[in-house]
Structure 1
């Protein structure tokens, strides 16, 4: 399959951009899969109502069929087409954060979306992305669009069109290049079918932001506990991971350096991921800075790019510092824990200075 490629800017209705959006939307109408930018990461989208179309998403990604997808909409009228029994907390969150990096779980309207989208559940995950190209594509296609991240399943999510090309060139019908994404990590997922609502996946909207609007929300135990069964899209399997095994390391810089030295003396090529404040202090084969502890939003924006930086570098093992969990830091640590398969090495008390 030859993958079509369109480059657009935020002026999606311009003489340059609009015909490209129309061409991409025509492929959606023909039940093809097309990658497109959102404010979080690039998504791989297809007509949410079509089994044929949605199956192409799973095939291109190599995604397990029991892993549900998020449906992307451009209007509140489209929500009414696919969801029922919308709660008051959900209404408040929608009108505060949509368009934006927040996915809400609703009871689905029977027959409104493919069962492949919901993995047979009676609920559906929905969000309204805050990106002009995404909204224009959804509107022009005339369909709510099911879309997970546009990467091979398990790999770091794509934050540029080049990442999508690296993973899916020849496997999807088209890629809309709208430039780098802004948030850099996926949307927060909140189940609004229960009381209190439950955060199933931390993301671009923090728990503190949500509670400021609707009061107390719970958190799915699977966010922190690898043994618990997750309920959110994209949370069930190893995800966000580079090719080399990744380990979180929680300790002082000098202790982490000793771990690196031990692996290098054993003949392994070592990668190190760290925030900008400490990255230059490490002596490893490949050192990749990732944002700043003082600016978690910047760390989130650069996280997947940093993880992808280790590809083709021949590293045998990657260590990553832990990041503060406040605000969007919860999403950063969630993605790192998933990428590391919850492997974390903590500095023993006896080694602490």
Structure 2
């Protein structure tokens, strides 16, 4: 099922779905301006239609055609694109990103992915594509080609193998609306990096404008228990840091947060295939990239506090 870039572009133009690699997670891509193609994404994923999608574009110039950016948004784009940052801004062109993709909102979420092959496909397509994670809704996001095909390959016309995702958690989402800057979803671009560039940012509010905000999300079949020091009977413990045991069951034996993020969903999936009674995850520091890791773990456990 490994598709070429021209075949992927042709499938997008024909209204089909394409598994597309990004640096964060694998996406299930479609023409952002084609309501029927976008509807097929919601159907394939079993995703609620009130949950907006992110428009992926080839460069900041294209982003400016679909969204209205102020000076702070342009500063973030210049600093972090291509890369794992999504900016939510007032929509400029409602046709290029259709109403269904935006969940009927007057805003649009947009980013320039940091994966060369993804950008090449999007540039050749010639317009924005929506590309939510290529998994069934609520499941752990796929960070390998095989996991993406296993999850949603049945619904796709083409699938592009771009190797394992190097970031491993979804993009940071920042809202730039009504003069406020709000962190809607933590990710690999950290709160500190954003604030160093544009000043203090808020948290919370406008959560309906961002994907990945459901209370139970990123969840394997086995129940997830977080901040666990040891496994209970039948559980698998995913350790973190020195002394965390065999590498197979550690997010990062050295305690490196970037390694832990890259391993997070893959380890959850590997552990889940063992059919344990549960998956326990050791404490992960909550600063820097740890904020994004813990956000995903809390939602996988069905706890958002």
User: Shorter chain as normaliser: what TM range?
Assistant: over 0.9
Q: Are residues 271 and 66 of structure 1, via their aligned partners in 2, closer, same or farther at CA, if it must alter by over 3 Å?
A: same
- Structure 1 Cα separation of the partners of residues 211 and 75 of structure 2: 22
- Structure 2 Cα separation of the partners of residues 206 and 277 of structure 1: 24
> Quick check: 73-82 or 301-310, which moved more?
73-82
Question: What is the TM-score of this pair, normalised by structure 2?
Answer: 0.94
Deviations 1:74-123 (A, max 9, x none): 02232232112x11110100011110100000111233311111111110
The aligned residue for residue 83 of structure 2 is 100
User: Is 1:299 aligned to residue 260 of structure 2?
Assistant: yes
Question: What is the TM-score of this pair, normalised by structure 1?
Answer: 0.82
- Structure 2 Cα separation of the partners of residues 162 and 56 of structure 1: 21
User: Is 1:138 aligned to residue 99 of structure 2?
Assistant: no
Q: Shift in Å at residue 211 of structure 1?
A: 0.8
Greater CA radius of gyration, 1 or 2?
Answer: 1
What is the Cα-based RMSD across aligned positions, in Å? 1.9
Aligned pair count reads 303
- Structure 1 Cα separation of the partners of residues 194 and 84 of structure 2: 12
Q: Shift in Å at residue 343 of structure 1?
A: 7.8
- Structure 2 Cα separation of the partners of residues 306 and 194 of structure 1: 40
- Structure 2 Cα separation of the partners of residues 66 and 294 of structure 1: 37
> Quick check: 127-136 or 335-344, which moved more?
335-344
Deviations 1:11-62 (A, max 9, x none): xxxxxxxxx2111100000011101111111111100001011111111111
User: Is 1:336 aligned to residue 297 of structure 2?
Assistant: yes
User: Is 1:55 aligned to residue 39 of structure 2?
Assistant: yes
Is the Cα–Cα contact under 8 Å of residues 60 and 77 in structure 2 kept in the other structure?
Answer: no
The aligned residue for residue 14 of structure 1 is none
- Structure 2 Cα separation of the partners of residues 96 and 335 of structure 1: 25
What are the ranges of 5 or more consecutive residues in structure 1 without an aligned counterpart? 7-19, 223-228, 282-286, 345-353
Q: Shift in Å at residue 336 of structure 1?
A: 0.4
The aligned residue for residue 288 of structure 1 is 249
The aligned residue for residue 270 of structure 1 is 235
2:103 aligned to which of 119, 138, 146: 119
- Structure 2 Cα separation of the partners of residues 221 and 73 of structure 1: 26
Is the Cα–Cα contact under 8 Å of residues 292 and 298 in structure 1 kept in the other structure?
Answer: no
Where in structure 2 are the equivalents of 1:174-185 lying within 5 Å?
A: 174-185=158-169
Secondary structure at 1:302's aligned position in 2?
helix
